[in-house]
Amino acid sequence: MKELKGISKETLQAYWKANVRLTTFTLIVWFVVTYVCAFFVRELNTIVIFGFPFGYYMGAQGSLIVFVWLIFNYAFKMNANDKKYGVEEEEE
């Protein structure tokens, strides 16, 4: 890997590992707010907040808020990781 001279193999592996960890976390949350919440929607619907049954709310709006947060969280952490491991792209 000629273009990455100056970065050790260990650093690259650590960077990729951090990425996999963050990706796994993101996917677990993604799975829980959609599929687990939908699976238990009847139970969750017994909780009512501001007129919203909670299970319904998660499907209609709650999961969406979490998705937006998840993606920004992933983006900011990954961009910080790029810097931390010295693999950020050259400014164009």
Partner 1 sequence: MAKGKSPFLDNLGKIYAMYTGGFILFVIGLAFGEKMGMSNASIGYTYMFATIGLYAVIGISSRTAKVSEYYVAGRSVPALFNGMATGSDWMSAASFIGMAGTIFGFGYDGLAYIMGWTGGYVLLAVFLGPYLRKFGQYTIPDFLGARYGGSAARTIGIIAAIVASFTYLIAQVTGVGIIMSRFLGIDFQIGVFVGLAGILVCSMLGGMKAVTWTQVAQYIILILAYLVPVTVMSYNVTGIPVSEVMYGQVLQKIDAKEKVINADPKEIEVMALWKKEVEKIDADLKNLPASLDAKRQALNDSLAALPADAAAAEKEKIQKAIAGLPKNPVEAKEKWEAAKKSATEKSKPIKPYLEPFARLDMLNMLALTFCLMVGTAGLPHILMRYYTVPSVKQARISVGWSLFFIFLLYFTAPAYAAFARNEVLSNVVGLPIAQLPAWMANWAKVGLVSFKDMNADGILQFYELTIGADAIVLATPEIAGLPYVISGLVAAGGLAAALSTADGLLLTISNSLSHDLYYKMINPKASILKRLTISRVLLVIVAIISAWVATYKLTIIVELVAWAFSIAAASFFPALVMGIWDKRANKAGALAGMWAGFLICLFYMIGSRFYGLNWFGVKTISSGLFGIPLGFIMIYVVSRMTAPPSPELQDFVESVRIPKGSAAAHEE
Q: Indicate whether 32 belongs to the interface with partner 1 (CB under 8 A).
A: no
State the Cα–Cα distance between residues 26 and 71, nearest whole angstrom: 8
Q: Indicate whether 51 belongs to the interface with partner 1 (CB under 8 A).
A: yes
Token readout for 49 is 């907040």
Identity at 51, one-letter amino acid code: G
Q: Indicate whether 72 belongs to the interface with partner 1 (CB under 8 A).
A: yes
Beta bridge partners of 53: 48
Q: Are 45 and 56 in contact (CB under 8 A)?
A: yes
Contacts with partner 1 by CB under 8 A lie at 1, 3-4, 7, 12, 15-16, 19, 22-23, 26-27, 30, 34-35, 38-39, 41-42, 45, 49-53, 55-57, 59-61, 63-65, 67-68, 70-72, 74-76, 78-79, 82, 86-92
